[in-house]
Amino acid sequence: MTATTAPRTPRSSRLARRREAVAGLLFVLPTLAIFVAFKFLPIAGAGAMSLTEYRLNGDVTFIGGENYARLFSDPNFFKSLGVTLGYVLIFVPLIIVVSLVGALLLNRLVRYSGAFRALLFVPYLSSFVLAGIIWTWIFAVDGPINAALGSVGLGPVLFLSGEQWLVLGSLALVSVWKGFGYSMLIFLAGLKAQPAEVHEAARMDGASAWQGFRHVTLPLLKPVLFFVLVIETIVGFQVFDTIYVMTGGGPARASYSLIYFLFDEGFKFLDFGYAAAIGLVLFAIVLVLSLVQRRFFEGKEEQ
């Protein structure tokens, strides 16, 4: 005698789906609560503050869009925006290339890969302030780099007080040294997840190392590449610590980034409403760039 199960009625199916939905919601609720408390509410609060003249004693005067009108007529805003864009254009490609090369080399290692992985990740764990102090000495006129250049009759090079492109390049180099370990591990995880059969088939078809990387490895790595590109773009637009320690926004505001501009307006001049407007505009710029990057990668995948 065999036991038979009664067919599920539409009502029982709806109840089961409802229980699953409630269970799923309970699982994501802690993360959702953290997101709302530490992401959504601060952004909403900054948006409200940007429409006011907010004084340190707590007095608030609603002024509408005056802070934004003032911002888009402020030459310091456009100066800091240009500096930030210039820094991002140097920093983002450089850190992606360094991180990807590091991940490819680690992926080929068989012995001591864990030790090398930990060693390359150490700079990421260090403080930006500490890294800035060390690299300020390295880039100094009487530092080791200029001493080495002087020994062959070159220099001195004004890494932190010369031309703007040289200052931004030096700052970007420090940020790459400090932060590439994180993106390198993400790329490495993406490489490890790729099926070995695909690479083996490419080698059997006679593909060279470069052809295998271009036509197999890189296309499979596109989702990871998009993630790293967005993350590092956000990091680039938020640069502050290195600039604060190494150049103070100088020379002649050659490294005066948007975050440094926001810091000055909010914590030096105590103009919190104006600083909030700067933060919201920066948020909008990064959001638009992220959407453009996503559209670009989606378009590449469809081709």
Predicted pLDDT of residue 185: 93
How many other CB atoms sit within 10 Å of the CB of residue 60? Answer: 14
Predicted pLDDT of residue 9: 62
Predicted pLDDT of residue 10: 64
SS (H, E, C) the chain: CCCCCCCCCHHHHHHHHHHHHHHHHHHHHHHHHHHHHHHHHHHHHHHHHCCEEECCCCCEEECCCHHHHHHCCCHHHHHHHHHHHHHHHHHHHHHHHHHHHHHHHHHHCCCCHHHHHHHHHHHHHCCHHHHHHHHHHHHCCCCHHHHHHHHCCCCCCCCCCCCHHHHHHHHHHHHHHHHHHHHHHHHHHHHHCCCHHHHHHHHHCCCCHHHHHHHHHHHHCHHHHHHHHHHHHHHHHCCCHHHHHHCCCCCCCCCCCHHHHHHHHHHHCCCHHHHHHHHHHHHHHHHHHHHHHHHHHHHHHHC
- Residue ranges of the domains in the chain? 11-49, 72-302
Question: 194 pairs with which residues across the strands?
Answer: none
| pLDDT digit string, tens, across residues 211-253 | 888 888 888 999 899 999 999 999 999 999 999 999 999 888 9
pLDDT in tens, the chain (303 residues): 455 555 556 667 777 788 888 888 888 888 888 888 888 888 888 899 999 988 777 778 889 899 999 999 999 999 999 999 999 999 999 999 999 999 999 988 877 778 888 888 888 888 888 888 999 999 998 889 999 998 888 878 899 988 999 999 999 999 999 999 999 999 999 998 888 888 888 888 887 888 888 888 888 999 899 999 999 999 999 999 999 999 999 888 999 999 999 999 998 888 899 999 999 999 999 999 988 888 887 766 555
Predicted pLDDT of residue 1: 45
Predicted pLDDT of residue 64: 87
CATH topology for 72-302 is MetI-like fold (1.10.3720)
Predicted pLDDT of residue 31: 87
- Residue 269 CB-density burial (10 A; 0-12 exposed, 13-18 middle, 19+ buried): exposed
